[in-house]
Structure 1
Amino acid sequence: MRAAVLREHGEPLDVTEVEDPEPEPTGVVVEVEACGICRSDWHGWQGDWDWLGIQPQPGQILGHEPAGRVAAVGEDVTNFAEGDHVAVPFNLGDGTCMQCRTGHGNTCENPMPLGFVEPVPGAFAELVHVPAADHNLVHLPDGVGSVDMAGLGCRFMTAFHGLAHRAPVEAGDWVAVHGVGGVGLSAVHIADALGANVVAVDLDDEKLSKAVELGAAETVNAGEADDVPGAVQALAGGGCHVSVDALGIAETCRNSVLSLGTRGTHVQIGLTTSEEEGMVGLPTDAMVMKEIEFVGSLGLPPTRYDEIFRMVARDKLDPSAVISETVTLDDVNDRLSAMTDFGTEGIPVIDEF
């Protein structure tokens, strides 16, 4: 099969022929029909996240936002058959730990982040193997395409989990979203669907315009505002109920916290870069005095995908609205390179392998 293989951090991925995967007894092989290209892939390509223990090594196939059809099934798999249309969560679990067994498989005690560690080669490929398939795989509803479902990816479902479960957002709340790339635009769209008033914050006017299309009530250009949190608070009438850092740099994290009103909730979705290495200074005194909560959001438990599907079926959510373009596997290096200077808008999706 063809796949995009990491040879050296920061150097172009090698689009080449590799051996087809075979299913483990509890696994399946999925023929990939679409796979999103995510900023997390950029981090892996750059060699970030060694402090998290998920730095991809040479020889790794990247890619972690696939949808497609089951092509081969392990002998112990009971819930899936050849031809089933499926989505593959990026944060694969073992299905046996306490977190998985209590419905929190997104925070498995033995995580297997697809495309980032050697046991789970990624989905920038014609085929991808999914371990513990009965636990990890998600059946897709009739009438949806793989490209649209690849738009769910890690960004859309992580934003949904953060705003619907971890915050959670209520109708009429003011929600700020700092950074409106793929995950930020997803958060804007989801917060609007949940009934919130959204303030989108970014440096790029084109991305802010896209945020308005997806439901943002107000925007702040962070490059033009002298006081970004102050500008957000003014628009929200004194402070937001919920604020999201969708980028993962120190400045956006602090701005997000400082955008909140009393008893507000900060949702951290963006993971940091090599500059922060996972450590960001916070205005802790302000957090104490205003009783601000700080929560993280990672993926979505497989058992809760149906919440998104029900909203999609009723036209309340449209993951495809966040997709910016479809490309081929041979375009993956160009799209990753563009992310270095934040030169992508929304979610690019590979649909030709």
Structure 2
Amino acid sequence: MTPTTMLAALYMPGNERMVIEKNYPIRALQDNEILLQVAAAGVCHSDVFLLSGVTVDTRKYVMGHETCGVPIKLGPKVDSNTIRKGKLYSVSLVDGCMHSTNGTPVAENTIGIGKDGAYAEYIIVTADMLVPVPDGVSPEVAAIASDAGVTAYHAVQHAAKVKRGDKVLIFGVGGLGHLAVQYAKHFGATVYACDFKPEALKLALELGATEAFDLIELTNKTTAGFTVDITIDFVVNNQTFSLAMAALRGNDVNFPSSPTLVLVGVSAENLVFDTLDIVVSGVQIHGSTYGPRSALVAALDLFSKGVVRAHVHSEPLENVNKVIDLGTRNQLRAFEIIGRKVVIPHHNMH
């Protein structure tokens, strides 16, 4: 019997915490839609921005945009030979029709950011959002592959264009950064990492980084002449930007290759820089967000082969507010979580 209501964590305008509803209605499927039983949903730092009022939305919707699940009901126009009930699928954030003029997702049409998302027992998706999960990939890893895995892969492979022989410096060894360290290593780079947490620095070294620095150590290194070819910043504040520029500035400009700075993280800070410094140093600055379906396929493949290992910590769905905000100590805001947190609906808890 198809369920008609579900447990869900909702964005409510004016609330700094999600509202947990035990009987949130599940709407009827349209012809091309699929009802997916959520297996796991990743908790992303961008959820903090949604709840903190940085963005203003007047709608009520289920949050959670990083997920995987199993189809339990198909709309009448969904090809049952293409989408199989009982098979685990990772969910791309947007369907094939939802993009802006430059190809990036339109926020209002993204699951968990305007449309009902995955902090729930069920989610409604379309076939072109689903990517089959290879054998050997757990639901927790398949969930984070859909956003953290894609975003880090796109930043390393497409935005930074990391190749064999490059020296790459990664800022922030968190949910995305710990994957980026491994992607860059996989593509043949010598990888360095910077984080203020000793546990994160230890993890970076375990995952293949040649050296890992805290902020003071990196400042001393760049002062002594340390340089890299590429920096990928998952923190993005004035301190990391300045350190990235210091590590890139000493390189020669060798067209078409130039020192490259990729910004992936989001913060409330406005970056301050000298335009003459940018022009003279030849540093190319790129922003990177999410990635194409092919990046999700590639990320899942690397997970399935054991080339990339995801560090994942699970909590029941009911605890999603605890994960995002433990009283006055917000784990995500304080960047205290090493790896990625996922929440799992009760029906999938072991």
Question: With structure 2 as the length reference, what TM-score do the two structures score?
Answer: 0.84
1:25 to 28, 31, 43: 31
2:298 to 303, 307, 328: 307
Look at both structures and tell me which one has the larger radius of gyration over its CA atoms.
2
Q: Distance in 1 between matches of 2:179 and 2:14?
A: 28
- Which stretches of structure 1, 4 residues or longer, exceed 6 Å deviation after superposition? 96-99
Is the contact between residue 142 and residue 300 of structure 2 (CA under 8 Å) also seen in structure 1? Answer: no
2:92 to 75, 89, 93: 89
Q: Distance in 1 between matches of 2:127 and 2:159?
A: 25
Q: Distance in 1 between matches of 2:191 and 2:14?
A: 37
Q: RMSD between aligned alpha carbons? A: 2.5
Deviation at 1:310, TM superposition (A): 3.3
Alignment partner, residue 37 of structure 1: 43
Map 1:273-288 onto structure 2 (within 5 A): 273=268, 276=269, 279-288=270-279
Unmatched 5+ stretches in structure 1: none
Size of the alignment, in residue pairs? 326
Deviation at 1:189, TM superposition (A): 1.9
Alignment partner, residue 331 of structure 1: 319
Alignment partner, residue 272 of structure 1: 267
Is the contact between residue 93 and residue 111 of structure 1 (CA under 8 Å) also seen in structure 2? Answer: no
2:221 to 231, 252, 258: 231
Alignment partner, residue 71 of structure 1: 72
Q: Distance in 2 between matches of 1:29 and 1:177?
A: 38
Map 1:158-237 onto structure 2 (within 5 A): 158-222=151-215, 224-225=216-217, 228=218, 231-232=221-222
Q: Distance in 1 between matches of 2:31 and 2:222?
A: 52
Return closer, same or farther for 1:233/1:317 CA change in 2, 3 Å cut-off: farther
Is 1:316 the counterpart of 2:311 in the alignment?
A: no
1:3 to 5, 8, 21: 8
Unmatched 5+ stretches in structure 2: 1-5, 253-257, 326-330
Is the contact between residue 30 and residue 68 of structure 1 (CA under 8 Å) also seen in structure 2? Answer: yes
Return closer, same or farther for 1:143/1:136 CA change in 2, 3 Å cut-off: same
Q: Distance in 2 between matches of 1:94 and 1:305?
A: 14
Is the contact between residue 38 and residue 345 of structure 2 (CA under 8 Å) also seen in structure 1? Answer: no
The one-letter code of the counterpart of 1:95 is: C
1:129 to 116, 124, 134: 124
Q: Which is worse superposed, 10-19 or 289-298? A: 10-19
Q: Distance in 1 between matches of 2:307 and 2:123?
A: 31
1:114 to 108, 111, 114: 111
Residue identity over aligned pairs, in percent, reads 26
Offset from partner CA, 1:262-319 (integer Å, 9 cap, x none): 421111111232xx3xx4223432222222111122112113433223333433222x
Q: Distance in 2 between matches of 1:288 and 1:85?
A: 48
Is the contact between residue 98 and residue 109 of structure 2 (CA under 8 Å) also seen in structure 1? Answer: no
2:341 to 337, 343, 348: 348
Deviation at 1:94, TM superposition (A): 4.5
- Secondary structure of the residue aligned to 1:141 is coil
Alignment partner, residue 151 of structure 1: 144
Q: Distance in 1 between matches of 2:274 and 2:71?
A: 48
Question: With structure 1 as the length reference, what TM-score do the two structures score?
Answer: 0.83
- Secondary structure of the residue aligned to 1:151 is helix
